[in-house]
Structures are given as C-alpha cells and as structure tokens.
C-alpha cells in the first residue's frame, strides 16, 4: 500500500486524473446545476431555534432555485415553508431586506404589503380586502401560499422546491445523518454569522474550504505552526462526504489567546477533550484531531469539534457569483468574561475566513482566462474530487 495515495486506494472508483475547470466557468453548466441540483435536492435553510415562537418567520432567498422561501412557525408549533409570492399579482408577501429576512407576527399571519391580502401560517388565504369585487371564478380556498416541502434533521431546516422530491430527507441524508447523530448541536446554540458575495463559482468556494492542504500557507498568519498531519477517516456517503482534519495543537498560545482559551475554549486552535463527539467522529481518539470537515451536498459544509460547530454555505447567484455565509456556534456564555473570550475566538475565526476567501476571486478570474482547462488534485484533496464527480453525475443524469 502506498501511504501517499491512501484515499485513491480506498476509493479507486473516483479515479486520479485531472478535473475539468469547465463546470466552474460555464454559464450553460450553471443553468443545468440550477435545474438538476438546486431545484431537486434538499437544501439547508437554517435552524428551528431561529424561529422559537409561533408567528416567527424567516425568508431565505434561493436564487439557484429561482425563489425565495418563507419558513414560518405556526400557532400549532409546526414549521412550514412557502414560496414568497402572493396569489394576487405576484408581489413578495414578506418584503425582504436582503438574503435573509427575519420577522414575527404575533397573530401568526403574514400580510402582503401591496394590497393587503392576509395569509395564515399554514398558507391559507385568510382575507382579501374588497373581496366582493373579484369575480365568481376566484376562490379563496385555491389561493393560499404555494407550499414547499420542509423537513428537519437535528434541528436543521431543509427545504426541497421540487413538486415531488425524489427522496425523503432521511433517504437523501442516508449515512450522513448517522455519522453526526448525537452531536449536541442544540446545546451549542450561540452563533455568529458572517456573509459576503464572492465573484466566483460556488464550487470554487466549496473547494477552497474542502481541504487542509492550504493550512500551512493560507493560514500561516492566523493559525501558525499547526503543522497539518492531513486528513483522516475520509468517508464518502452518497453525494455527501466527510473527513477529520488533524493539526498539531501543541503550539504555545499567544498571551491573549491563552487567556481566552482558558476561559472559553471556543477557538479551533485550543486543545479540547473528546467528550461530546459521537463515536463515529475521531474514532481512534487521535490527540491531533482538530475538527470534522463534512460536506452536506450540495452547498453546506458542516464542521464539528469539541464545544464548537460551524457551517459554510455557498448559495449560487450566477455561474461566477456566490453568496457565502459562515456561521460559528459555541455554548452560550454564562459570564461577561466568557462573552469576551468568545468574541476573541470569533475574531480569530473571522480572520481565518478572510484568509480563506482571499484566493477565491483570483481563482475564478484565472479560470475564466481558459489558460488552463484542468486542475490537478493530490490525494488529500479527495473531497474536491468527489464533489466534482457528484456534480457531474447530477448534471448529466
């Protein structure tokens, strides 16, 4: 066995050849991704605890599925999803103020601003001002909000805009759901969100986060001397994928980081135990385990670690434009010093993400020059290879 090529040996079906850059730069390919991926599969749009009370709602734009989704908790406690489009003349029912809009209506209804049509949280059209002036062919009962399939896993909200999804959410997640079962997402619910729009394809962004080969170079500033021992435990699960990222964590912390780590342990580069990780994660209890890096197809990266979890999401806006959202979660602080320590960890993480995103637009521009039409991947870049192959399978299905 060749230790340098262990992932090829584990997954020979992925092959080892170069990967085409065409899917990253072609507008036609992107149109197919919209149709065959983003309009067909389950997409994670948030957490149930973002909508704690009846009448809470969130609107999430999903341009790659040509819609924006209202996710709303009804008086019955149920969360449902609808297209954000009024049955009258098509205005958005909830006026959006960006990619994500949060709101609350105590009465559990939403009202279109244009002419005041009112919808209940179950989507039913509740009232129409001057209803008598519509004609007899108009039936209120047929004109509720257009529903979207919604299901949940571990507190994550997923929507599927297909009329009839090919798979249930449980089928779609498959072994991926098992892999993360038991991680206390719910307990670690104190989160921060950063976002930006990147002038690059969503897969360029995905790829830049889906390997640890870049840690020594790109993160030489924020995470110095955490010499990577590479990936461990790569597991491919249908369209999803996961691995452990191992880093040498015994570097002496800098003074402020040392104080923050002692208080909160909320930073990725502070050494932590393994008490809350499910048995499937870091099964050999490697002391250099830093975090699990997984890809929930198509556009969510989910990472878990002791006391921390975080996600990256890549929402395509065009073939060369992507909304990136990074969310970082820890246990809610219980003291002012704890809050301070979390702020320090978050600042450091933001800086690392600033380093991560630094290459993406350059990569896209260079790829668009078509000077080279292939990219070369080494064995530890297997998640990228798997991603490219899965996208190809969906697009050409």
Partner 1 sequence: MTELTLPAAFADLAPWLDWALPTADGRQDRRLASTSDTLRRFYDAVLPRLEDILAEVDKHPLGQLPAALRPLYDIALSLAEVAPHIELYDGAVGVPYAFEEGRFIAVHGGEPTWSTPQPMMTPAP
66 binds, among ligand FES, Fe ion, partner 1, none (CB under 5 to 8 A by kind): none
- β-partners of residue 71 are 58, 81
Contact 42/160 with Cβ under 8 angstroms?
yes
278 binds partner 1 (CB under 8 A): no
Q: In 3-state terms, what secondary structure has residue 353? A: helix
Distance in Å, CB of 381 to partner 1, minimum: 21
Distance in Å, CB of 112 to ligand FES, minimum: 3
218 binds partner 1 (CB under 8 A): yes
Residues 362, 358: Cα–Cα separation, whole Å: 8
Q: Give the residue among 293, 360, 365 at the shortest CA–CA distance from 324.
A: 360
CA 298 centroid distance within chain: 9
Interaction mask 76-105, ligand FES, x per CB under 6 A: ----------x-xx-x--------------
224 binds partner 1 (CB under 8 A): yes
115 binds, among Fe ion, ligand FES, partner 1, none (CB under 5 to 8 A by kind): ligand FES
CB atoms within 10 A of CB 107: 13
Q: Which listed residue (288, 356, 380, 381) binds Fe ion by CB under 5 A?
A: 356
Residues 246, 229: Cα–Cα separation, whole Å: 6
Q: Which listed residue (45, 59, 71, 112) binds ligand FES by CB under 6 A?
A: 112
Residues binding ligand FES: number (CB under 6 A): 9
Residues 244, 285: Cα–Cα separation, whole Å: 11
134 binds partner 1 (CB under 8 A): no
Distance in Å, CB of 352 to Fe ion, minimum: 6
- Orientation of helix 382-395 relative to helix 202-209, angle to 10°: 150
6 binds partner 1 (CB under 8 A): no
Stretch that binds Fe ion, among 23-31, 164-172, 354-362, 369-377 (CB under 5 A): 354-362
Distance in Å, CB of 115 to ligand FES, minimum: 3
Q: Which listed residue (7, 24, 29, 117) binds ligand FES by CB under 6 A?
A: 117
What secondary structure does DSSP assign to 135-198, as a single string?
-TT--GGG-SPPEEEEEEETTEEEEE-SSS-SS-HHHHHTHHHHHHTT--TTT--EEEEEEEEE
102 binds, among ligand FES, Fe ion, partner 1, none (CB under 5 to 8 A by kind): partner 1
280 binds, among partner 1, Fe ion, ligand FES, none (CB under 5 to 8 A by kind): none
Contact 224/217 with Cβ under 8 angstroms?
no
Q: Which listed residue (232, 347, 375, 378) binds partner 1 by CB under 8 A?
A: 347
Contact 360/198 with Cβ under 8 angstroms?
yes
Which residues in this chain contact ligand FES in the complex, by CB under 6 A?
Answer: 86, 88-89, 91, 112, 114-117
């Amino acid at each position: 066995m060749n230790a340098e090529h262990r992932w090829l040996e584990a997954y020979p079906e992925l092959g080892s050849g170069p990967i085409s850059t065409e899917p990253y730069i072609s507008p036609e390919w992107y149109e197919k991704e919209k149709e065959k991926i983003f309009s067909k599969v389950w997409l994670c749009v948030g957490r149930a605890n973002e909508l704690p009370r009846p009448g809470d709602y969130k609107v999430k734009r999903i341009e790659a599925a040509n819609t924006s989704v209202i996710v709303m908790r009804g008086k019955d406690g149920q969360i449902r999803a609808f297209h954000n489009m009024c049955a009258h003349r098509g205005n958005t029912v909830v006026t959006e103020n960006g990619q994500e809009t949060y709101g609350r209506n105590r009465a559990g209804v939403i009202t279109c601003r244009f002419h005041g049509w009112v919808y209940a949280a179950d989507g039913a059209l509740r009232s129409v001002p001057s209803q008598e002036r519509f004609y007899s062919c108009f039936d209120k009962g047929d004109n509720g909000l257009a529903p979207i399939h919604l299901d949940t896993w571990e507190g994550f909200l997923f929507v599927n805009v297909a009329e009839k999804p090919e798979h249930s959410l449980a089928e779609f997640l498959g072994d991926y759901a098992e892999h993360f079962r038991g991680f206390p997402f719910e307990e670690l619910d104190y989160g921060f969100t950063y976002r930006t729009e990147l002038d690059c394809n969503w897969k360029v962004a995905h790829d830049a986060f889906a390997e640890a080969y870049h840690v020594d170079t790109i993160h030489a500033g924020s995470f110095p001397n955490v010499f990577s021992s590479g990936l461990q435990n790569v597991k491919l699960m249908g369209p999803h994928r996961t691995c452990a990222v191992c880093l040498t964590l015994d570097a002496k912390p800098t003074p402020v980081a040392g104080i923050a780590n002692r208080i909160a342990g909320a930073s990725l580069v502070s050494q932590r135990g393994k008490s809350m990780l499910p048995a499937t994660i870091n099964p050999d209890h490697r002391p250099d385990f830093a975090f699990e890096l997984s890809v929930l197809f198509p556009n969510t990266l989910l990472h878990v670690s002791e006391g921390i979890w975080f996600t990256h999401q890549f929402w395509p806006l065009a073939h060369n434009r992507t909304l990136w959202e990074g969310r970082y979660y820890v246990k809610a602080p219980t003291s002012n010093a704890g809050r301070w320590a979390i702020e320090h960890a978050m600042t450091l993480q933001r800086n690392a993400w600033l380093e991560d995103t630094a290459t993406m637009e350059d990569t896209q521009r260079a790829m668009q020059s078509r000077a080279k039409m292939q990219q070369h991947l080494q064995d530890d870049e297997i998640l990228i290879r798997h991603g490219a192959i899965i996208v190809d399978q969906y697009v050409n299905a």
